[in-house]
A and B are shown apart, each in its own frame.
Chain A
Amino acid sequence: MRELTFREAVVEALDMALERDPRVFLLGEDIGYYGGLFQATQGLLQKYGEDRVMDSPISESAIIGAGIGSAIVGMRPIVEIMNIDFMPVCMDQLVNQAAKMRYMFGGKMKIPLVIRCTCGAGRGGAAHHAQATHGVFMHFPGLKIAVPGTPHDVKGLLFTAIEDENPVLFVEDKMMYNVKGEVPEGYYTVPFGKAAIRHEGEDVTVIATLRMGYRALAVAKEMEEKGIGVEVIDPRTLCPLDKETIINSFKKTGKMVIVDEGNRVGNFGSEVASIIAEEAVDYIQAPILKVTAPHVPVPYSPVLEKFYIPDEERIRQAVYRVLEYA
């Protein structure tokens, strides 16, 4: 199959969405003439014009507010918040308005809004441009959260997000834009709430989000040569979360490592560990370990930033540690 970069897959999906549905439009900072900070909307303004690909003022609340309003009246807006770090600026619009409105008004309106944003450290973005706070939004009922882990998934999940009648926070790992992978031609969807098993194994379950999936996969392949079976699961969406796949894998292995770039406390992995404790306690054979960023702001120093991001060595160490209970 042909290969595209993650970025090319995003552009292709947005292009097709604009092409397929006249209700779809894009709104965000620098997404038009500049083509997006990460070129993920490159060429779309030229192709579809300023009416459908709109550069916005620097006001995150206005961006999401406009998205909510247009979604209510029947459009299919795809808005972009450049970095997930900016989300607190528009927290009210996102978690109080977008996420709650359909519920508060008795289902009188639908909010088919897609909010794209980027996350992740590795480019020297420091404390305001490099966070991975996607897990935080799991806390708010009414939001769906997609965390695509491959070029294939980003395209398929984006179509599912656009077609969903509810607000979807669509988180793209900015360090993945240049990652290549097989991407089918044409239209296809990847369902929400259905995890992908990237690698099968009998001994340890590793849940890994976003680009951590690649790192976990590398460790799994290396472990396989040593005869250790690591099952790597990419949840693909945090909400809805595919608990069934996660628990079934855990029942098989009894050991789990969760890898997520978010800060350690209140991490996505904390929620997974809690689910295991509540729903699969009798299968726990070893401590459930989280491999996360430490509980500090993203450092600007390149040396510290590299140390901050969970790497293969830390995943490997965690796997070995739970294997002490094998």
Chain B
Amino acid sequence: MAVEVVLPALGLTVEKGTILQWLKREGDVVTKGESLYEVEADKVTTEVESPASGILKKILIPEGVEVPILTVVAVITEEKEELPEKYRTMAVEKPEKKVEPGAPKIQEPSVFLTSGPTEIKAPPAARRLAKERGVDLRAIKGSGPGGAILVKDVESFLIKGMPAGPKVLTTPTARKLAERESIPLSFIKGTGISGRVMKADVMAAKSPPKVSELKPRPPVSKYQLGQVIPMNSIRKVIAKRMAQSKFTAPHIYFYNDVDMEKLFSLREEFLTELEQVHGIRISMNDFFIKATALALLEYPLLNSKVSGEEIHIFPEINIGLAVAMEDGLVVPAIPRADQLSLVEIALYRADLVERARQAKLTIEEMERGTFTISSLAQFDITFFTAILNPPQSGILTLGKVEPKPVVMDGQVVVRKTMRQGLSVDHRIIDGAVAAAFLQSLKKKLENPYTTFVKL
């Protein structure tokens, strides 16, 4: 019996996914549970397991193609079993279809695609090239006027399997030369009108640098001045969400200073032993996560979202931790942090951060957060404001801990001090509530023994 491999539902809000890579080829023997392909949806890359054992008989959706969830992407058959007839007409990558002699050539309807754009703008030359090379135009992002898919987009797709870059003004001759020399156009500074890249610019980019230019340079950003960078899917999501949050929720901000001496000594006491017993190093962040969760228990309004004209208080306290990645930022959340022990929080945190950096989080892990903590302590930041992570209504910001002169009992003493900040959605959270929450959190952190040591 042939078994269909479908693109699974990757999360509540996910409608489509892009197949990044097939880990098996047609004809390979696969076992149930073995990873078949990688799919990307929203920000997450997931490996999808084989639903059955047998032969990966037919891949219907090639790499780089975005399809709706539950689309049949491949078929697994038993050894020696023929591919059922109905799947033969479904393959995307087969441009030439055998037509019975005399029968008129009809475009095979796209049976595998249940939704998505039906109208594709592409001049005939681009269509011909795509057809000749078996490329599905739907997989290609057009860079021409009105999003038209141009010949160069198809060519670029064939070379890199990627959409053509953003439109770099260039002369056709320069473009051809740059392609021949494999120099990305976005790296060439154009000297023509409106920065148009000219043939001479490509030649200049191509020629080896002069000796005088070969001075050792300090390592710099991977980006260059004047470069135009297409937003990847993560960046698009971030951009959309940040703008949505900042322009929808009126933010107000609060700060207070926290004396960290006791928390530091408590951690010192725990640290080595916990590391030996549980193999995990408790970080300052783990304390913040726990303390925040406990403060939210006292002030549930900060653990809520606006829904129409209602305030929905989340049923759980799931603390999201903003994790910077090389390119972008994700906020995996530790579920029910109020009920977890420090060690459990530390284990969760270490795992989530590690997988965030490998882009291997699940949608669920990224969407379950009800309140977010963002720390820039490692960058020597004293304090900062943050934009709410929608639909949440509160975000805590942590600056660096540093020794500061403070007045205690009429004496100036030096204490390890941290400035924490809170941004809240002022539509539903009044200043006094937010201030009281921040005060509670400060007390919890300044009196760690009563907060964290429960016997």
Contact = CB atoms under 8 A, between A and B. Distances in A.
Interface of A: 202-203, 226-229, 254, 281-286, 323-326
A326 to B, nearest CB: 5
B105 to A, nearest CB: 15
A285 B144 CA distance: 10
Most buried by B among A202, A226, A229: A226
B151 A285 contact: yes
A170 B135 CA distance: 50
A325 B193 contact: no
Contacts of A323: 172
B128 A325 contact: no
Interface string B372-405: 0000000000000000000000000000000000
B174 A227 contact: yes
B172 A202 contact: yes
Contacts of B193: 226
A34 B192 CA distance: 53
22 contacts: A202-B176, A203-B171, A203-B173, A226-B193, A227-B171, A227-B173, A227-B192, A228-B171, A229-B173, A254-B123, A254-B125, A281-B124, A282-B124, A283-B125, A285-B150, A286-B123, A323-B172, A324-B145, A325-B148, A326-B152, A326-B172, A326-B175
A325 B144 contact: yes
B176 to A, nearest CB: 8
A202 B177 CA distance: 12
Contacts of B199: 227
A46 B123 CA distance: 60
Given A285-B123, A324-B144, A228 B150 contact: no
Given A283-B125, A283-B128, A323-B172, 19 more contacts: A202-B172, A202-B176, A203-B173, A226-B171, A226-B193, A227-B172, A227-B174, A227-B199, A229-B172, A281-B124, A283-B124, A284-B123, A284-B125, A285-B123, A285-B125, A324-B145, A325-B144, A326-B172, A326-B175
Contacts of A229: 172-173
A254 B123 CA distance: 10
Contact of A282 (B128, B145, B172, B174): B128
B361 interface: no
Nearest to B167: A324
Interface in B144-202: 144-145, 148, 150-152, 170-176, 192-193, 196, 198-200
B126 interface: yes
Contacts, number: 56
Contacts of A326: 150, 152, 170, 172, 175
A228 B172 CA distance: 6
Contacts of B152: 326
A227 B145 contact: no
A279 to B, nearest CB: 12
Interface of B: 123-126, 128, 144-145, 148, 150-152, 170-176, 192-193, 196, 198-200
A9 B193 CA distance: 41
Nearest to B199: A227
Contacts of B172: 202-203, 227-229, 323, 326
Contacts of B192: 226-227
B196 A282 contact: no
B173 A202 contact: yes
A323 B168 CA distance: 12
A48 B172 CA distance: 56
A326 B168 CA distance: 11
Contacts of B196: 226
A325 B145 contact: yes
Contacts of A283: 124-125, 128
A268 B126 CA distance: 27
Nearest to A203: B172
A188 B200 CA distance: 42
Contacts of A254: 123, 125, 151
Nearest to A228: B171
Nearest to B171: A227
Nearest to B201: A227
A276 to B, nearest CB: 10
Nearest to B152: A326
Contacts of B175: 326
A254 B175 CA distance: 15
* CB-based closest 9 A-B pairs: A227-B171, A203-B172, A227-B199, A282-B128, A285-B125, A284-B124, A326-B172, A227-B173, A227-B198
A281 B126 CA distance: 11
B430 to A, nearest CB: 54
A93 B145 CA distance: 49
Given A254-B151, A285-B126, A285-B151, A227 B200 contact: yes
A138 to B, nearest CB: 25
A123 to B, nearest CB: 35
A324 B175 CA distance: 13
A283 B126 CA distance: 8
Nearest to B172: A203
Nearest to A324: B145
Contacts of B200: 227
A51 B199 CA distance: 62
A45 to B, nearest CB: 54
B292 to A, nearest CB: 53
Contacts of A203: 171-173
A297 to B, nearest CB: 33
A256 to B, nearest CB: 12
A285 B129 CA distance: 11
Contacts of A284: 123-125
A226 B175 CA distance: 13
A311 B181 CA distance: 37
A254 B144 CA distance: 14
Contacts of B176: 202
Contact of A325 (B150, B173, B174): B150
Nearest to A285: B125
Contacts of B173: 202-203, 227-229
Nearest to B174: A227
A203 B196 CA distance: 16
A282 B171 CA distance: 23
Nearest to A284: B124
Contacts of A285: 123, 125-126, 150-151
Contacts of A228: 171-173
Contacts of B144: 324-325
Nearest to A277: B124
Nearest to A286: B123
Contacts of B151: 254, 285
Contacts of A282: 124-125, 128
A54 B171 CA distance: 56
A320 B170 CA distance: 11
B327 to A, nearest CB: 30
Most buried by B among A202, A284, A326: A326
A272 to B, nearest CB: 16
A326 B170 CA distance: 9
A228 B169 CA distance: 12
A224 to B, nearest CB: 9
